Amino acid sequence: MQKYYLSTIRFLLGFTILVSIFISCKKDLYADSSDIYAQLSANKFFELGSASADIVNGKVYHDTTYSYPAIPILLNGVANSDMHITGVIDTTLAAEINEFYKSNNLVAKVGAFRLKSDTLTVHAGTSIVTDSLYGMLDDARYLDSAGVYVIPVRINTTNNELIKNPIALFRMGYTQTNYYGRFSSGNYYSEDNPSLYTYSSNVNNFGYFDIVVNRKNHNQVGDLVFNINPGVSSPFHYGSLKILAGLDFENSIINDFKTTVDTVERLNNYAIMPSGNLKIETGAVVVQQDNYSSWDNFVYRLSNLSSLSADSNYLFYFHLPANSDTNYFPPDPNKAYSNMFVRVKCNDLKSLNIDSNNAVVNGSLMDRANWNVYSSQGNDSTYEANYYNYLIPSNAIDGDVDTYWGPMGFTTSSAFFINMQNAHSVKGFRIFPNYIDLTMDILTAEILSSNDGNNWTSQGYYFGSVTDPNSSKDNPDYKYIHFNSSVNAQYFQIKILSTSNYYSTSSIPEIVGYE
């Protein structure tokens, strides 16, 4: 047992000697280690301040200190005469302080912080310094990231022996707001029909612009013009800056597209949009101070659509390119905000048995008394059950041009059905325009016929037009679906693909048939 106690005593003596040696090695850093620990436990040496900065492309546009951490000065005794105490930041000690205190505070570069006032006066007879030095942010350019920084301060005076803490420190919690450019919203329209818009809310559920170009008998169609509105991650308060637009045609798009989209929606026959089909017409816009988005749009033009194959899904990116110009917002590092997938699919719609000129139909008006009409959303009862009494299908055959059929909700595609009860040799149909809302003209529709209401035969595609604004109910701009050869059938379907309404909703105030 005696040997055990002797061994324990020897160990404790050895440990004490090692600690003494370690502390003595730190004498150049700390005058009194026990006092350092006491002050540390009282949170005096590690007072935490707060500061922040606003940064664009590495340029600090504004920085500020919100709270100034105090750096107390401790004396060993009474000052015999007036003396001046100064503080100097010494960042070379930061790493050693972190090691000594087993902390992981960030280490600032020279010039990042300074003392709000670097001199104190201690009057004769003073043993306690009632004032403190205070730390503050000086230049955020010298800070690599947000976090808590440790800033050592050397304390000097004419009587250094009187200073108990020749090295003190403060901490500064630093946050920074980096401003990035991003896509805010977008729409596109066809120059064949400038009133036909598709808003960004119609970016489909898979997160990309899904554009179907319906080509009339593979003829050249008008350019597609994209207006994409850029914005910023947060309103910028220190002036107006620009955002740059870009396009990407790299083959990597296909892999990116498959990764983000194709795992959910299976698409085939990918191709990169030929760069010659796309150009940027407006590629730099200004975001005004304190605004989330620009007052102007990027403008992209997609042309020569007749050159695209109907068998392929053409892909490209709208994106914000990287730049280092401090007058421009850099792209958001989150690609979901700085890249916008676009897929373009061309459909060749053929008129077949539909007169492409939509000529007037000559023949006898059909008796509609026995007609039964309904839509892809249901019959009159379905509409009434959903409180859409004013849009019921039978409005299209009630003889009143002030009532009309329309789809429930903002439906982008719908179909209107006619059951004539018996087969008829039909030459075509005439549709009365909607003079209550002239934005509901049917522009593209597939016309189908059937003898049983289940098995359908396509008669081709009808290509309509916008109602003449100079027409009226008394002088209507009738729309004709003219069959080149009469169709013998009981059922007819008007499958609407596009309209003049930017929500792609349609209407039929009155429809009559000819035989």
Tens digit of each residue's pLDDT (9 = 90 or more) over 8-19: 434 333 333 333
Q: 342 falls in which pLDDT band (50, 70, 90)?
A: confident
- pLDDT mean over 202-219: 64
pLDDT number for residue 197: 46
Over 70: is that where the pLDDT of 39 sits?
no
Class of domain 24-178: mainly beta
- Which of 18-32, 88-102, 135-149, 370-384 has the lowest average pLDDT? 18-32
At residue 407, the pLDDT reads 87
Of 16-20, 46-50, 77-81, the one with minimum mean pLDDT is 16-20
83-109 core/surface letters (b: 16 or more CB in 10 A; e: else): bebbbebebebbeebeeebeeebbbbe
Asked whether residue 214 carries a pLDDT value surpassing 50, the answer given is yes
Confidence at 409, pLDDT banded by 50, 70, 90: confident
Please, what sign has the CA dihedral across residues 450, 455, 460, 461? Answer: positive
Cα–Cα nearest to 213, from 349, 121, 16: 349
| Per-residue pLDDT tens digits for 112-129 | 999 998 888 888 888 888
Per-residue model confidence (pLDDT) at position 186: 76
pLDDT digits (tens, 9 = 90+) for 164-173: 778 888 889 9
What pLDDT, on a 0 to 100 scale, did the predictor assign at position 46? 63
* CATH architecture for segment(s) 181-349: Sandwich (2.60)
pLDDT value, residue 410: 62
Q: Is the pLDDT of residue 492 over 90?
A: yes
Most confident of 17-21, 34-38, 470-474, 485-489: 485-489
Ordered DSSP codes for 296-363 = S-EEEEE--GGGS-TT-EEEEEEE------TTBPPBPSSHHHHEEEEEEEEEEE--TTB-TT-PPPPS
- Over range 462-489, report the average pLDDT: 95
307 vs 220: CA distance, rounded Å = 9
Give the residue with greater pLDDT, 392 vs 251.
392
The residue that leads in pLDDT, 7 or 85, is 85
Q: What is the pTM of this model?
A: 0.66
Q: Both ends of the chain: CA-CA distance in Å? A: 122
Above 80 in pLDDT, residue 54?
yes
Q: For the sheet containing 298-302, what is the strand order?
A: 193-199, 181-190, 224-232, 298-302, 278-282
Q: Which residues 6+ apart lie within 8 Å of 426 measured at CB?
A: 366, 449, 483, 486, 487, 488, 489, 492, 513, 514, 515
Using CA atoms, how far residue 507 sits from 198, 361, 431, 446, in Å, is 18, 21, 10, 15
Query: How does residue 257 score in pLDDT terms, banded at 50, 70 and 90?
Result: low
| Mean pLDDT on 267-286 | 86
128 burial via Cβ count (<10 Å: 0-12, 13-18, 19+): exposed
Q: For residue 354, what pLDDT is reported?
A: 96
Assign 306 a pLDDT band (cuts: 50, 70, 90): confident
Domain with CATH 2.60.120.260 in the chain: 372-514
pLDDT over 70 at 403, yes or no: yes
User: Is the pLDDT at 267 greater than 50, yes or no?
Assistant: yes
Contacts 24+ apart (CB under 8 A), 474-480: 476/432, 476/433, 476/435, 477/433, 478/360, 478/430, 478/431, 478/432, 478/433, 479/358, 479/430, 479/431, 479/433, 479/441, 479/442, 480/355, 480/358, 480/359, 480/360, 480/361, 480/428, 480/429, 480/430, 480/431
pLDDT confidence of residue 225: 87
Q: Which helix (H) or strand (E) holds 164?
A: none
Decide if pLDDT at 486 tops 90: yes
Average pLDDT on 182-193 reads 75
Least confident of 21-30, 71-80, 300-309, 331-340: 21-30
The pLDDT of residue 262 is 55
Average pLDDT over residues 284-309: 91
Sign of CA dihedral 167, 168, 173, 179: negative
User: Is pLDDT at 413 greater than 70 in this prediction?
Assistant: no
Looking at residue 44, its pLDDT comes to 45
| Residue 7 in this model has a pLDDT that exceeds 60 | no
Q: What is the per-residue pLDDT for 487?
A: 98
Domain with CATH 2.60.40.1740 in the chain: 24-178, 181-349
Fold classified for 372-514: Jelly Rolls (2.60.120)
Q: Which of 427, 421, 366 is nearest to 397 (CA)?
A: 366
